[in-house]
Structure 1
Amino acid sequence: MKIDINCDVGEGILNEHLIMQYISSCNIACGGHFGDKNSIDKTIKLAIENNVKIGAHPSYPDKENFGRKLMQISDNDLRDSICSQLDLFLERLSKVDVKLHHIKPHGALYNAIAIDEKLATKFIEITKEYLNDVFLYVSYNSVIEKVALKMNIKIKYEAFADRNYTDSLTLVSRNHKNALLIDKNDVFNHVLNMVKYQKVKTISGLEKLIKVDTFCIHSDTKNALEIVKYLHQNLEKEGFKIE
């Protein structure tokens, strides 16, 4: 079986050069929560060198809060920001003649469109022109999944290797002490359960059905390199190919 491991990169953590060899797709910040031409170019170059699929990682325009705080923003302002980020990213990709593989929204925007139908619909309307032959990374059983499928958008189901889940399959808030999984064995078992049994154990102990095409590791998790290296090596021992 094949498994895709993705990572949010180009976010100023400066560990991409170490992480890239252990992942198969990446989500590069494109100016909303972090990023500019230089960081985008450097991260694209690393991805190409490591044969990693390249995705754009647009966000609320909120560098102050790293895109992790819900914003009250008009539809027009959201459109202008998302289009500006994606246009910049595609312009940088064109310099190296590489195609965009996917789009994955970041942080608070990702979480909001997972539960808010109006915002999810608006996000698809904004990004639809960018999603021709491009995947949208979405969470299983989310509002954005249903809206995307209804609007004939190609999707890949994403789960989070280093985050805990609620019973409703949303991510446990980062304000909660158990939001993150940082022990490499816990992360591996978390992922293996989803891969082998299509089940995720929630923070309350329930086993919930989940579909997964790609697993995310956050590059700003304090031991991200240790986690992604351990995950890559041990999934391969289990007979899975990372690609």
Structure 2
Amino acid sequence: MTLNADIGEGTGTDKALVPYLDWCNIACGAHASDPEHMQETVELMQQHGVRVGAHPGYPDQENVGRISVAMPSDQITEQVSSQVKLLQSMAKVEYIKPHGALYNDMMSDLEVFNAILTAAKRHQLPLMLLAGDFPIHHALAQQLDIALYHEAFADRAYTPDGQLLSRSESGAVHQDVHLIVKQAQLFLEDPPYQIDTLCLHGDHPASVEAAPQIRQLIDC
């Protein structure tokens, strides 16, 4: 099991989180960040030996990529591909993990998922997605020979069907350190499905505070 976090989004918590991470998902300038900040983030991750993944999102910094943007499939592919390519000019990118609304749309809309798979195929990179019972997603990825990394969220609430509860809903993000650690422990000790990595969000203080305890649980 590994620990990952979304990084380089201007939250000011990257330095506090990085010592506990295995993988980092670096914002690629669309929903957050810019080339200068991306380079600084890459250097910080390299100092700590953290593996780098691209974290592309909808081009909407005003809403931090958390609102769906209507665009045709080929445009989604090009958006993801161009953001990955920008990060590849700075670091060895080892996988792709979409951000925010693009991630949610990928899990709920197979047209969006296929568009992102096409970008992953272009760059020959694995794709990170929500761990759970999503057989069609797995079949489509297998058809294109795209490896999948399955992630669970220690600090997010889930819906009964295994999707993430929308951030617009109350309680979508856990604010209690004990609850975050407990949820991580449940995923580690009794995973309901294949889980390769746990995710924390650096934009919430409780998640940052929980990171050392979760790292300890993983390393036990």
Shared fold per TM-score greater than 0.5: yes
The answer to whether the Cα contact below 8 Å between 1:161 and 1:215 also exists between their aligned partners in 2 is yes
Aligned positions, number: 218
TM-score (norm 2): 0.93
User: Where do 5+ consecutive residues of structure 2 fail to align?
Assistant: none
Partner of 1:219: 202
Partner of 2:128: 137
The answer to whether the Cα contact below 8 Å between 1:184 and 1:230 also exists between their aligned partners in 2 is no
Q: Does 1:156 align with 2:149?
A: yes
1:112 to 98, 105, 113: 105
In structure 2, how many angstroms separate the alpha carbons of the residues matched to 1:184 and 1:233?
Answer: 14
In structure 1, how many angstroms separate the alpha carbons of the residues matched to 2:31 and 2:137?
Answer: 21
Partner of 1:72: 70
Any residues of structure 2 matched to 1:44-123 within 5 Å, and which?
Answer: 44-93=42-91, 99-123=92-116
Q: Which amino acid aligns with 1:14?
A: G
Any residues of structure 2 matched to 1:190-201 within 5 Å, and which?
Answer: 190-198=183-191
The answer to whether the Cα contact below 8 Å between 1:67 and 1:106 also exists between their aligned partners in 2 is yes
Residues 214, 62 of structure 1: CA spacing in aligned structure 2 closer, same or farther, 3 A cutoff? same
The answer to whether the Cα contact below 8 Å between 2:38 and 2:87 also exists between their aligned partners in 1 is yes
The answer to whether the Cα contact below 8 Å between 1:57 and 1:106 also exists between their aligned partners in 2 is yes
In structure 1, how many angstroms separate the alpha carbons of the residues matched to 2:61 and 2:137?
Answer: 24
1:167-220 alpha-carbon deviations (Å, 9 max, x no partner)? 11100111111111121211111111111111xxxxxxxxxx332110110111
Q: Does 1:30 align with 2:28?
A: yes
Question: Which aligned runs of 4 or more in structure 1 are off by greater than 4 angstroms?
Answer: none
1:210 to 183, 193, 218: 193
Any residues of structure 2 matched to 1:1-40 within 5 Å, and which?
Answer: 3-40=1-38
In structure 2, how many angstroms separate the alpha carbons of the residues matched to 1:102 and 1:126?
Answer: 11
The answer to whether the Cα contact below 8 Å between 2:56 and 2:80 also exists between their aligned partners in 1 is yes
TM-score (norm 1): 0.84
User: Where do 5+ consecutive residues of structure 1 fail to align?
Assistant: 94-98, 199-208
In structure 2, how many angstroms separate the alpha carbons of the residues matched to 1:62 and 1:157?
Answer: 26
Structure number with higher strand proportion: 1
RMSD in angstroms over aligned alpha carbons?
1.5
1:23-72 alpha-carbon deviations (Å, 9 max, x no partner)? 11100000110121111111111111111111000011111110000111
Shift of 1:107: 0.4
- Matched position secondary structure for 1:126: helix
- Matched position secondary structure for 2:108: coil
Structure number with higher helix proportion: 2
Shift of 1:234: 4.2
The answer to whether the Cα contact below 8 Å between 1:6 and 1:27 also exists between their aligned partners in 2 is yes
Residues 121, 231 of structure 1: CA spacing in aligned structure 2 closer, same or farther, 3 A cutoff? same
Aligned-pair identity in percent equals 30
